[in-house]
Amino acid sequence: MGDNLFAILEEGTIVTPKGFKAAGLHCGLKKTDRHDLGAIVCEVPAVAAAVYTTNVFQAAPLKVTRESLADGRLRAIVVNSGNANACTGKQGEEDAYTMRSRAAAEFGVEESDVAVASTGVIGELLKMDRVIAGIEGLPGRLSGAREGAEAFNQAILTTDLVKKEACVTVSVGGVNVTIAGSAKGSGMIHPNMATMLGFVTTDAVIGQEALQQLLRQTADLTFNMITVDGDTSTNDMLIAMASGLAGHDELSPAHPDWEAFASGFQYVCRMLAMAIARDGEGATHLIEVHVNGAETDEDAQAIAKTIIGSSLVKSAVFGADANWGRIIAAVGRAGRPVNPETVDIKIGPISVLEQSRPVAFDEDAALAYLQGDTVNIEVKLHTGSGSATAWGCDLTYDYVRINAAYRT
Amino acid sequence: MGDNLFAILEEGTIVTPKGFKAAGLHCGLKKTDRHDLGAIVCEVPAVAAAVYTTNVFQAAPLKVTRESLADGRLRAIVVNSGNANACTGKQGEEDAYTMRSRAAAEFGVEESDVAVASTGVIGELLKMDRVIAGIEGLPGRLSGAREGAEAFNQAILTTDLVKKEACVTVSVGGVNVTIAGSAKGSGMIHPNMATMLGFVTTDAVIGQEALQQLLRQTADLTFNMITVDGDTSTNDMLIAMASGLAGHDELSPAHPDWEAFASGFQYVCRMLAMAIARDGEGATHLIEVHVNGAETDEDAQAIAKTIIGSSLVKSAVFGADANWGRIIAAVGRAGRPVNPETVDIKIGPISVLEQSRPVAFDEDAALAYLQGDTVNIEVKLHTGSGSATAWGCDLTYDYVRINAAYRT
């Protein structure tokens, strides 16, 4: 994976890459006093790329953001939480355009250089007086210091418990380049960009096509390999902005340091994706599923996602039950080629199935392992060389509690 | 649907059709003293048909039953609960064959006329001494009276709370024909025959091909349209046996009373499927999803199944929350053609979305409706004439409790 090609910046944030500032505040969309409006602003036009939810019903802000991204550059992203502005019809679209135009005016940039993102309840109109007053308060709060990023990170959360960020530096042509990211979960998370927003900033010099391709490939291996509950939302998007202020030779796959850059970029996205899975609604465990020996990587991905999406597997992990029968049942219903006689399964270090036959194992050791914070499930199919990793979380009483009472 | 073409027999059971007896007893596979071994026996060779789980990992009894069904006839079915005899290798296969041969000897029939079914924990060998002693106790308990069916019904349950049966009579050429069924759920239930066993008996005279085709079509509209948690098991099967003792002209799709027979047959399977959904692990509500106006019936089926399978929709129903945003999000991620501007959604009698726009509705009325036993969700797509109905249940604390501690 090339994880030695970059250095982790523990204290880095989305404003660590050169050229970025961020802000966040409470404008009144959330019932609590938590932040619910934020922005990232770049001091120069940034090369930008995005991937969006595959849901047929796409929220109004996605339409507006697609328009802004048409020329491949952005100066600012304005984000609200507490209201998804989805299924809100013409008024919702107008509101998203208004968010864009007011943010552009406040930040002194072109409207077409502003992206808009929203997350929260579906089907209710935004309280635009609050949003507009909030946007007016953003410029004075923009900061290139840690506090700006922290305020932004707070502003994008819904039922998330913790902020999710990651930052690395990588050497490109002898110049230090920084890549950072921030994201929110945490329900409706599934492969294909479920209710999640992700923002990646970098000061790398990179062409739009290269950035878009890297973002798409990376999303498929990271954000699209996590699931909390199998639902995908109307609002998800992942946006990357590259300010170019690091000032090296333009990156492309032909650049000698491309692999280093790509691996750092992927690391940031993987950390964010894993953080979303770990903070899934009600989660008490991060579950990591590795599938090896499938016929193709795509087969391995489909099988890994089926295991990580199984309510029975997720409940078993919550109960610290080494119930490999549910794992193999999930493998068998993924709809991909599997030899029913050659499957090995390990739960952490403990082998529970070899060549599709149960292995006697120490139940106490399994219980102790399953009570840890992270649970690894490894499935070897022995039919090819395809592999994949997926991340998810356990299914708990709290997931039900949170989702039985979210809207009311 | 032709539901007026047959009469419901409230007191009917799987032994009401002429020629059938049943039995059940506790042999010691379950930790409780509930029945865990049962049989249905037909006094003549019955025309038989079956559909099986689509899971790649098929339990040993399925292999044995497929062999017995190869000639399209059966005299007996022997079933155990408490142990699925799945992922048990060569020994598991030998055990399933032993169950078949011992049952054949006890019932005085050919081995190849006996089907074997198992349900319960995966990956543990059957305690064959207990199974064999149990089988020896079955012939003395066989009964054509209600008590035989009740003992059998108990014997097939795992985490089910209630027994599931249905019975109708229909006139074929002026002769009364009876169709009855018995089934078990209740976790790992999903389209494609999840952990569920279903048994249909009838005294109709019908060819094997016609019975197999009817069973397949009916399963697709009933058992394959229910979901509890999206998991499918290694053990599911649905078997139909027709004794022919009603003594009318042989039924086939060309018979003038075919529609009446088929509608009665479908009714029995629908009632069993709905009962499985209603008794899903931890369920407090039956959810019925109707999708109309899809481009094709297959599209409607896929969309209905996506809605009924959504953990967020299921949690919202548990919380009596009219959260239609989650319903439309599920519609949008089903991967089928949908016009995002023309969707209507009703929750029971309450219209919540028209032409994809929220409708102001009485929250108290919605709350009162959602607190009822059955929740209807109706989705109209207005793009074609495809329709489908799916059944499921809410996601509750008890689902998590049951599945966090099943094996241990």
With beta carbons less than 8 A apart as the criterion, state whether A262 and B341 touch.
no
DSSP code of A206?
B
Out of A119, A159, A195, A222, pick the active-site residue: A195
The predicted structure's pLDDT at residue A322: 86
Which residues, including other chains, have CB under 8 Å from residue B263's CB and lie 6 or more apart?
B1, B2, B3, B5, B6, B170
Q: Which of B288, B284, B279, B283 is closest to B371 using CA atoms?
A: B284
Mutation target among B196, B403, B406, B408 for the A interface, most CBs of A within 10 A: B403
Note the pLDDT tens digit of each residue in A32-74: 889 999 999 999 999 999 999 878 888 899 999 999 999 999 9
Q: Clarify whether residues A170 and A315 are in a common domain.
A: no
| CB neighbourhood size of A403 (10 A) | 28
Q: Clarify whether residues B295 and B316 are in a common domain.
A: yes
Q: Clarify whether residues B44 and B84 are in a common domain.
A: yes
CB–CB contact A321 B192 (8 Å)? no
Tokens of A347: 């739960």
Q: Clarify whether residues A258 and A292 are in a common domain.
A: no
The predicted structure's pLDDT at residue A193: 37
Which residues, including other chains, have CB under 8 Å from residue A173's CB and lie 6 or more apart?
A248, A249, A255, A256, A257
B158 is in an annotated binding site: yes
Q: In this complex, which of A56, A358, A399 lies closest to B87 when CB atoms are compared?
A: A358
* End-of-domain residue from the set B276, B299, B320: B276
Lowest mean pLDDT among A228-242, A271-285, B113-127: A228-242
Confidence of residue B231 (pLDDT cuts 50, 70, 90): low
Q: Calculate what percentage of chain A has a pLDDT beyond 70.
A: 94
Sign of CA dihedral A254, A258, A263, A269: negative
Tokens of A388: 């994949």
Q: Is residue B201 annotated as a catalytic residue, yes or no? A: no
Note the pLDDT tens digit of each residue in B81-111: 989 898 888 999 999 999 999 999 999 999 9
Q: Clarify whether residues B113 and B249 are in a common domain.
A: yes
Q: Which of B159, B171, B152 is closest to B76 using CA atoms?
A: B152
Q: Is B208 a member of any domain? A: yes
Q: Which residues in chain B have Cβ-Cβ distances shorter than 8 Å to A319?
A: 403-406, 408
Dist. CA A270–CA A218, nearest whole Å = 8
> A133 vs chain B: nearest CA distance in angstroms?
26
From first CA to last CA, the distance across chain A in angstroms is 45
Tokens of B397: 């604390």
Q: What is the mean pLDDT of chain B?
A: 91
Q: Clarify whether residues B290 and B258 are in a common domain.
A: no
Show the 3-state SS of B338-380.
Answer: CCCCCCEEEECCEEEEECCEECCCCHHHHHHHHCCCEEEEEEE
Sign of CA dihedral B67, B70, B75, B76: positive
Dist. CA B54–CA B237, nearest whole Å = 10
The predicted structure's pLDDT at residue B227: 76
Dist. CA A87–CA B356, nearest whole Å = 6
Q: Clarify whether residues B248 and B304 are in a common domain.
A: no
Confidence of residue A190 (pLDDT cuts 50, 70, 90): very low
Note the pLDDT tens digit of each residue in B188-225: 444 343 468 999 999 999 999 999 999 999 999 998 88
CB–CB contact A400 B396 (8 Å)? yes
Closest-CA residue of A relative to B89 is A357
The predicted structure's pLDDT at residue B162: 79
Q: Clarify whether residues A234 and A292 are in a common domain.
A: no
Q: In this complex, which of B330, B358, B395 lies closest to A87 when CB atoms are compared?
A: B358
DSSP letters spanning B153-193: HHHT-SS-SS-EEEEEEEEETTEEEEEEEEEE--SS--TTT
CA distances from A232 to A54, A62, A65, A134, B186 (A): 8, 15, 19, 29, 26
C-alpha gyration radius of chain B = 21
CATH assignment at residue A144: 3.60.70.12
The predicted structure's pLDDT at residue B191: 36
Q: Which residues in chain B have Cβ-Cβ distances shorter than 8 Å to A316?
A: 403-404, 406-407
CB–CB contact A397 B399 (8 Å)? no
Q: Which residues in chain B have Cβ-Cβ distances shorter than 8 Å to A340?
A: 56-58
With beta carbons less than 8 A apart as the criterion, state whether B338 and B382 touch.
no
- Answer with the residue of higher pLDDT: B359 or B232: B359
CB–CB contact A311 B353 (8 Å)? no
Q: Is B281 a member of any domain? A: no
Q: Which residues in chain B have Cβ-Cβ distances shorter than 8 Å to A311?
A: 229-231, 311, 395, 399, 403
Note the pLDDT tens digit of each residue in B133-162: 999 999 999 999 999 999 999 999 876 777
> B168 vs chain A: nearest CA distance in angstroms?
34
ipTM, 2 dp? 0.76
> B24 vs chain A: nearest CA distance in angstroms?
27
DSSP code of A278?
H
Confidence of residue A300 (pLDDT cuts 50, 70, 90): very high
Residue A175 sits at the vertex; the CA angle it makes with A172 and A180, to the nearest 5 degrees, is 75
* End-of-domain residue from the set A278, A298, A324: A278
Containing B399, the helix (H) or strand (E) segment is helix B397-404
Dist. CA B311–CA A253, nearest whole Å = 41
Mutation target among A121, A229, A311 for the B interface, most CBs of B within 10 A: A311
CB–CB contact A231 B396 (8 Å)? no
DSSP code of B250?
P
DSSP code of A265?
H
The predicted structure's pLDDT at residue B229: 60
DSSP letters spanning A94-107: HHHHHHHHHHHHHH
Q: In this complex, which of B57, B321, B406 lies closest to A404 when CB atoms are compared?
A: B321
Mutation target among B311, B344, B393 for the A interface, most CBs of A within 10 A: B311
CB–CB contact A325 B404 (8 Å)? no
Q: Clarify whether residues B209 and B355 are in a common domain.
A: no
The predicted structure's pLDDT at residue A194: 42
Where do we find the tokens 């992206």? A115
Q: Clarify whether residues B333 and B266 are in a common domain.
A: no
CB–CB contact A405 B57 (8 Å)? no
**Residue A108 pLDDT exceeds 60:** yes
Q: Is B57 a member of any domain? A: yes
Q: Which residues in chain B have Cβ-Cβ distances shorter than 8 Å to A86?
A: 325
CB–CB contact A316 B403 (8 Å)? yes
> A245 vs chain B: nearest CA distance in angstroms?
39
Q: In this complex, which of A56, A231, A395 lies closest to B340 when CB atoms are compared?
A: A56
Q: Is B10 a member of any domain? A: yes
Q: Which of A153, A13, A129 is closest to A81 using CA atoms?
A: A153
Residue-range definition of the domain harbouring residue B375 = 286-404
Closest-CA residue of B relative to A332 is B56
Where do we find the tokens 């294909």? A192
| CB neighbourhood size of A4 (10 A) | 8
> B34 vs chain A: nearest CA distance in angstroms?
23
From the annotation, which residues of A make up the binding site?
A: 158, 184, 195, 281, 403, 408
Dist. CA A393–CA A398, nearest whole Å = 12
Dist. CA A307–CA A227, nearest whole Å = 10
Note the pLDDT tens digit of each residue in A148-189: 999 999 999 876 777 889 999 999 999 999 999 999 986 544
With beta carbons less than 8 A apart as the criterion, state whether B279 and B185 touch.
yes
Mutation target among B234, B307, B400 for the A interface, most CBs of A within 10 A: B400
Closest-CA residue of B relative to A229 is B311
Closest-CA residue of A relative to B314 is A404
Confidence of residue A259 (pLDDT cuts 50, 70, 90): very high
**Pairing label, strands A197-202, A237-242:** parallel
The predicted structure's pLDDT at residue A96: 98
* End-of-domain residue from the set A244, A278, A312: A278
Q: Which residues in chain B have Cβ-Cβ distances shorter than 8 Å to A405?
A: 319, 321
Note the pLDDT tens digit of each residue in B250-275: 999 999 999 999 999 999 999 999 99
Note the pLDDT tens digit of each residue in B24-74: 999 999 888 899 999 999 999 999 999 998 788 888 999 999 999 999 999
Q: What is the mean pLDDT of chain A?
A: 91
Q: In this complex, which of B231, B328, B329 lies closest to A310 when CB atoms are compared?
A: B231
- Buried-state track B158-196, b at ≥16 Cβ within 10 A, e below 16: bbbeebbbbbbbbbbeeeebbbbbbbbbbbbbbbbbbbb
Where do we find the tokens 């109209």? B380
Diameter over CA atoms, chain A = 67
Ramachandran sector of residue A76 (left: φ over 0; alpha: ψ -120 to 50; beta: rest): beta
Q: Which residues in chain A have Cβ-Cβ distances shorter than 8 Å to B54?
A: 333
Q: Kindly report the length of chain B.
A: 408
Q: Clarify whether residues B329 and B271 are in a common domain.
A: no
Note the pLDDT tens digit of each residue in B300-355: 999 999 999 888 888 888 888 888 888 998 998 898 999 999 999 999 999 999 99
CATH assignment at residue A391: 3.10.20.340
CB–CB contact A124 B358 (8 Å)? yes
Please give the tally of structural domains in chain A.
2
Dist. CA B178–CA B246, nearest whole Å = 8
> B337 vs chain A: nearest CA distance in angstroms?
9
Mutation target among B91, B190, B231 for the A interface, most CBs of A within 10 A: B231
Q: Clarify whether residues A240 and A359 are in a common domain.
A: no
**Residue A192 pLDDT exceeds 50:** no
Q: Which residues in chain A have Cβ-Cβ distances shorter than 8 Å to B357?
A: 87, 89
Dist. CA A400–CA B312, nearest whole Å = 9
Q: Which residues in chain A have Cβ-Cβ distances shorter than 8 Å to B188?
A: 312, 326, 329
Confidence of residue B405 (pLDDT cuts 50, 70, 90): low
Give residue B39's identity as a one-letter amino acid code.
A
> A87 vs chain B: nearest CA distance in angstroms?
6
Q: Which of A124, A379, A217 is closest to B358 using CA atoms?
A: A124
**Residue B9 pLDDT exceeds 90:** yes
Out of B169, B195, B284, B396, pick the active-site residue: B195
